[in-house]
Structure 1
Amino acid sequence: MRVDEQDDERELEGSEAAAGRLARVLSPEAIDALVSDAKESGMGLDGAGGLLGQMMKAVLERALQVEMADHLGYEAGDRAGRGSGNHRNGVYPKTVTTTAGPVTVDVPRDRNSAFTPVIVPKGRRRLGQVDEMILSLYARGMSTRDITAHLAEVYGATVSPGLVSKVTDVITDEVQAWQNRPVDETYPILYIDAVRVRIRDGGHVVNKAAHLVIGVDVDGIKNVLGIWIEDNEGAKFWLHVLTQLKNRGLRDALIVCCDGLKGLPEAIEAVWPQAITQTCVVHLIRAAMRFSSSTDRKKVAAALKPVYTAVDETGALEALEAVREEWGQKYPGLIATFENAWDRFIPFLDFDQDIRRVIYTTNAIESMNRNLRKLIKTSGHFPSDTAAMKMLYLGIRNIEGRHIDGDGHVPTGRVRGTGTLGWTAAMNQFKIRFGDRLPL
C-alpha cells in the first residue's frame, strides 16, 4: 500500500472515530439527561443562563483552551512547558452575543500577550452567526431599529441601531466587487427591467429607478449582472451602463429585452450593433390590458393572443385589425399601445417558437421583481442610494437561496442562478441563427 493511500485510510478512520464520539455525545439518552437536569435545576432551555447558553459557553471555553495549547505547544500542567519562555496567565471574562443569547466566556491569556484567539477574536463582541443573522433580517426588509428590537426580544442581546448599520456596511465592499466582477463574453438574452425605490436626496424623498440587468448565459442560467440606480433615464445614462458591462467582458448580446426605456435602444445600437432590441411581450400585453375594464379583460386577452402568436408580421397586423374592429372604438388606448411599440415588437415574430417561448416566459424575473418590491415596500424609503443598493443586493442574494454571482462558486445550500425551461431546444435555434456569434 502506498504512503498516500495509508494517509487517506488513517484520515478516514479518524473521521469515523470522531463521528462515533459525536454520535454518543448527541445521543437521545445524553440529550434527555441534559434536558432533565436543566428542568430539575429550574434552568430554561434558551435565553440568558439557559441550557443552550451554558452549552455554548462550555464549548467556546474548551475551544479557547485548545487554541491556547496549540499556541504554547503544550497542554495545561504538562512539564514540557517549563522553561519554554511563555505560559498561561489566567483568564479574563468577555461577553459575546450568540444565537443562544449573550454568553460570558473566560478567555485565556498568556504571559507574553501573544495569544490571538480565532473562535472569539479580539475586539469582537458577536460571533459570525449573529452578523449573518443581522444581514438576513436586513435582506428581508427589516430596518436597523426593527433588527435591534428583534434581537433584544428573541435573544436578549443589546445591539444598537448604529452597530446594526455598521454590520450591514460590511456588505458594501461585497456589493462593489459583485457590481464590477467579470461577466461572460456573450449572452444569448439580456433582460433589462426596473423597480421603483424611494430615496432621501437633499432633504426630500424622491422616486428613483433601480435598473436590473439580467443575463441568460449559453447554459440557460439567469444571473443578475448588476444594479444601477438613477432618477433620470436617457441615452447618456444607458450608454454608461452598457459600456460598463462591455468593459467587464460582455462583448456581444444576441437579444436585449426591455420595456420602452428612454434612450436604451439607441445605446444598445451604439454598444452592441448586431444585437436585436426586443420589447418585452409580457410587459406590452400588460400595458395594453390596462386600458380595458375588468369585465372585458378576459375577452380582450383572448382577442390579443393571435397578435403575439402570429406566424409573421402580416398575420400579426391582420390579428391587430381584428382587435381594432372589435375593441378599438371602446378602448383606443389598447390599439395605440401596440402601434407605438410595433417596431420593437415585430422582431419577436421572426423567431422560431422555441426562442419565442424562452423570451416570452419571464416568470423567474417577474418573481424576483415581485419579491424586491415587497422588500422595498416593507423598508419604506432609504437614506441614500448606497443603502438602497445594499438592500437590493441582499434581497437578490437571499431570494430563494440562489447564488447570483455566476462565477462557479456556490455556497452550501445555494444553487448557481436559475435555469430556463426549454433551453436546449432554444439553444439549437440560437446556433442555427447566430452560430458564428456564439462561443464554441
Structure 2
Amino acid sequence: MVVDQPVSREERRRRQAATVDQLVASGALDGVFAQVDAGQPIAGEDGLLNALLKATLERGLNVELTEHVGYETGDADASSFPNSRNGYSAKTLATEVGDVEISVPRDRDGTFTPMLVRKGQRRLDGLDGMIVSLYAGGMTIRDIQHHLISTIGTDLSHETISKITDEVSDEVITWQTRDLDALYPVIYLDAIVVKIRDGGHVINKAAHIAVGVDMDGVKHVLGIWIQEHEGAKFWAGVCAELRNRGVADVLIVCCDGLTGFAEAVEATWPQATVQTCVVHLIRASMRFVSYTDRKAVVRLLKPIYQASTEQAAADALDAFEDSDMGRKYPSAVKSFRAAWDRFIPFLTFPPELRKVIYTTNAIESLNFQLRKVTKNRGQFPNDAAAVKLLWLAICNIEDKRARERARERGKKAADRRASGRLVEGAVTTNWKRTLEQLSMVYPERIDRHL
C-alpha cells in the first residue's frame, strides 16, 4: 500500500501561490477584482463567495443532468432522447458562506437523482462539520445559532442544530461499547464535576474518565461514566462493564481514593493493585495548611512518599507527626494515615514504575481542558448529553493538536512548538524500561501478553 507523504506548510503555500498566480495571469480574476474595487462585499448573502458557490453548484448540477439525459442544453437533437430537461426548482441551501439560493435542474421522467446536492438536502456537509466543531468547543446550541446568524447569515432553528449534534450519538455509543484489550498494565481514574438537570432542578454529578495504558505504553480513554453518588455499587458496575468489553486483568489501578472503588476493583480483578494517587494525597494533606507554611510542610512530607521502603515511610510519617508542623496540622498526618493501606503499594515498586503510577496527571491535564469546555455550558439536559460533549471535546482537542503538529512537520525539533498528544494515543515515557520492571513484579500475569 502506498501512503501519501504529508505536505509541509511551506509546500502548500507554494502550490496555492502558484495557482493564484496562474489565475491572475490568465485574467480569470479581473472581473472579481473589479467588483471588489467597486465595493462588492466578499462574504454574506450578497457576497462574491456566495455567488461563486451558487454558480459552481448550479454548473455541477447541470453537468450531472446532462450525463443523465444524454444531451447538452440547447442540443438540436434533444427530442430524439427518451428523457428530457424540464426546467428548474428553487432550493435554499445553508452553507459555510451563508444561505445560497440555487436552481436545481429537473428531468421530465423525474428519475434524476443529483449527487452534488442530494434530494432533501438543505445544508452542505461542511456546515454540519462546523456546527459539531463549535459544539465540541463548548458553545451551546443557542450560542451556535446566534454565531451562524451573525457571521454567515444562516438562520438554523434550535431543533435543526440539536439534530445535527445528536447525529454523533451513535458514534459515542460505538466508542463507549467498543472491545478493549485483555490486559491493561495501568489504569488511571479521575473525575470532573458537571451540572445535570434532574427534573425541576440542577444537580452536580461526577463525570469519571478512565484512561488505560496498553502493552505498548499507549494511553487510551476507555470510557466516561456519569454518577451523582460514588460508591461500591457504581464502581462495581463500571468494572463489570470493562470486564464485559474484554478487560480480563489489570495490574495497577491508580485513583484518588474514590469511595468503594478498591472493593469493586478487587471483586472484578482480584489480583489488581489499587494505588492512591500520591499527588491527590498530598493535596488532601495540604488542604488546611496556611500559605506561609506550605513549603515547610511539603519539605517534611517529601521523605514519606520518596521513601525506599514501607518502614522508612512509616518512620518519616512519625517524624513529621512529632514535628512542630505535624502538631500544628494534625489533619495532614490524618490524611496519610487514613490512606496508608492504599498508599504503601507504591513504595514496593522500582523507580521507573513509580514514575508511571505516581499520579493521575495523565488525565488531570485532560480534565483541565474539559473543564474549560463544560464551564460555558452551564448545565446539561441529561447524562447522555454530557458524555456526548466530553467525547466530542476529547476528539476536538486531539485533532487540533494533530493539525498543529502536521504544520510543523519537517522542522527541527528545537523549532517545534506544537503540543504532543494530550491523552488518547500518547506514549508513556520510558515505557520499555517500565514494562521490564512490570514483568519482574508480575511475571506470571504479563509475560503471556508480551
With normalisation by structure 1, the TM-score equals 0.87
The 2-side partners of 1:24 and 1:122 are apart by: 38
> Does the alignment pair 1:219 with 2:196?
no
Which letter maps to 1:357?
A: K
Q: How does 1:285-324 map to 2 (within 5 A)?
A: 285-324=282-321
The superposition leaves residues 81-102 of structure 1 with CA deviations (integer Å, 9 ceiling, x where unpaired) of 6644323222222111111111
Which letter maps to 2:439?
A: K
Residues 402, 415 of structure 1: 8 Å contact kept: no
The 2-side partners of 1:386 and 1:173 are apart by: 11
Secondary structure (helix, strand or coil) at the match of 1:296 reads: helix
Q: Which residue of 1 aligns with 2:242?
A: 245
Question: Cα gap change, 1:427/1:31 in structure 2, threshold over 3 Å: closer, same or farther?
Answer: farther
Residues 182, 247 of structure 2: 8 Å contact kept: yes
> Does the alignment pair 1:191 with 2:188?
yes
The superposition leaves residues 267-300 of structure 1 with CA deviations (integer Å, 9 ceiling, x where unpaired) of 1111111111111111111111112111111222
The 2-side partners of 1:112 and 1:164 are apart by: 35
The 2-side partners of 1:234 and 1:340 are apart by: 18
The 2-side partners of 1:28 and 1:333 are apart by: 77
The 1-side partners of 2:422 and 2:118 are apart by: 28
The 2-side partners of 1:382 and 1:157 are apart by: 25
Q: Which residue of 2 aligns with 1:366?
A: 364
Question: Cα gap change, 1:319/1:162 in structure 2, threshold over 3 Å: closer, same or farther?
Answer: same
* Structure 1 gap ranges (5+): 1-17, 405-412
Secondary structure (helix, strand or coil) at the match of 1:211 reads: strand
CA offset at residue 124 of structure 1? Answer: 2.1
Residues 253, 275 of structure 2: 8 Å contact kept: yes
The 2-side partners of 1:398 and 1:115 are apart by: 38
Residues 213, 226 of structure 1: 8 Å contact kept: yes
Question: Cα gap change, 1:28/1:370 in structure 2, threshold over 3 Å: closer, same or farther?
Answer: farther
Q: Which residue of 1 aligns with 2:338?
A: 340
CA offset at residue 116 of structure 1? Answer: 2.1
Question: Cα gap change, 1:416/1:192 in structure 2, threshold over 3 Å: closer, same or farther?
Answer: closer
> Does the alignment pair 1:422 with 2:430?
yes
Which letter maps to 2:114?
A: P
Question: Cα gap change, 1:37/1:238 in structure 2, threshold over 3 Å: closer, same or farther?
Answer: same
Q: Which residue of 1 aligns with 2:7?
A: none
CA offset at residue 400 of structure 1? Answer: 3.6
Q: Which residue of 1 aligns with 2:141?
A: 144
CA offset at residue 266 of structure 1? Answer: 0.9
Q: Which residue of 1 aligns with 2:397?
A: 399
RMSD between aligned alpha carbons?
2.7
The superposition leaves residues 197-226 of structure 1 with CA deviations (integer Å, 9 ceiling, x where unpaired) of 111112111111111111111122211111
CA offset at residue 436 of structure 1? Answer: 3.4
Q: Which residue of 2 aligns with 1:12?
A: none
The 1-side partners of 2:400 and 2:184 are apart by: 20
The 2-side partners of 1:93 and 1:414 are apart by: 47
Q: Which residue of 2 aligns with 1:14?
A: none
The 2-side partners of 1:402 and 1:211 are apart by: 23
Q: Which residue of 2 aligns with 1:329?
A: 327
CA offset at residue 356 of structure 1? Answer: 0.9
Q: Count the aligned residue pairs.
A: 415
Residues 196, 207 of structure 1: 8 Å contact kept: yes
The 1-side partners of 2:79 and 2:401 are apart by: 52
Q: Which residue of 2 aligns with 1:268?
A: 265
The 1-side partners of 2:54 and 2:243 are apart by: 52
The 2-side partners of 1:242 and 1:76 are apart by: 66
CA offset at residue 361 of structure 1? Answer: 5.0
Q: Which residue of 2 aligns with 1:102?
A: 99
Question: Cα gap change, 1:155/1:61 in structure 2, threshold over 3 Å: closer, same or farther?
Answer: same
Q: How does 1:367-386 map to 2 (within 5 A)?
A: 367-386=365-384
Secondary structure (helix, strand or coil) at the match of 2:87 reads: strand
Q: Which moved more, 1:149-158 or 1:67-76?
A: 67-76
Residues 254, 360 of structure 2: 8 Å contact kept: no
Question: Cα gap change, 1:304/1:34 in structure 2, threshold over 3 Å: closer, same or farther?
Answer: farther
| Equivalent residue for 2:131, pick from 134, 148, 156 | 134
Residues 258, 278 of structure 1: 8 Å contact kept: yes
The superposition leaves residues 309-331 of structure 1 with CA deviations (integer Å, 9 ceiling, x where unpaired) of 11111111122122222222111
> Does the alignment pair 1:278 with 2:275?
yes
Question: Cα gap change, 1:21/1:368 in structure 2, threshold over 3 Å: closer, same or farther?
Answer: closer
Question: Cα gap change, 1:300/1:20 in structure 2, threshold over 3 Å: closer, same or farther?
Answer: closer
The 2-side partners of 1:29 and 1:358 are apart by: 61
CA offset at residue 76 of structure 1? Answer: 4.3
Q: Which moved more, 1:319-328 or 1:430-439?
A: 430-439
| Equivalent residue for 1:433, pick from 419, 427, 441 | 441
Secondary structure (helix, strand or coil) at the match of 2:371 reads: helix
Secondary structure (helix, strand or coil) at the match of 2:346 reads: helix
The 1-side partners of 2:350 and 2:70 are apart by: 70
Secondary structure (helix, strand or coil) at the match of 1:236 reads: helix
Q: Which residue of 2 aligns with 1:408?
A: none
The 2-side partners of 1:300 and 1:70 are apart by: 80
Aligned identity (percent) is: 51
The superposition leaves residues 167-206 of structure 1 with CA deviations (integer Å, 9 ceiling, x where unpaired) of 1111111111111111111111111111111111121111
The superposition leaves residues 109-158 of structure 1 with CA deviations (integer Å, 9 ceiling, x where unpaired) of 22222222222222222111111111111112111111111110011111
The 1-side partners of 2:178 and 2:401 are apart by: 14
Q: Which moved more, 1:421-430 or 1:336-345?
A: 421-430
CA offset at residue 350 of structure 1? Answer: 0.9
| Equivalent residue for 1:355, pick from 353, 356, 362 | 353
Secondary structure (helix, strand or coil) at the match of 1:318 reads: helix
Q: Which moved more, 1:88-97 or 1:21-30?
A: 21-30
The 1-side partners of 2:401 and 2:216 are apart by: 16
CA offset at residue 38 of structure 1? Answer: 2.4
| Equivalent residue for 2:251, pick from 254, 260, 282 | 254
With normalisation by structure 2, the TM-score equals 0.85
Residues 401, 414 of structure 1: 8 Å contact kept: no
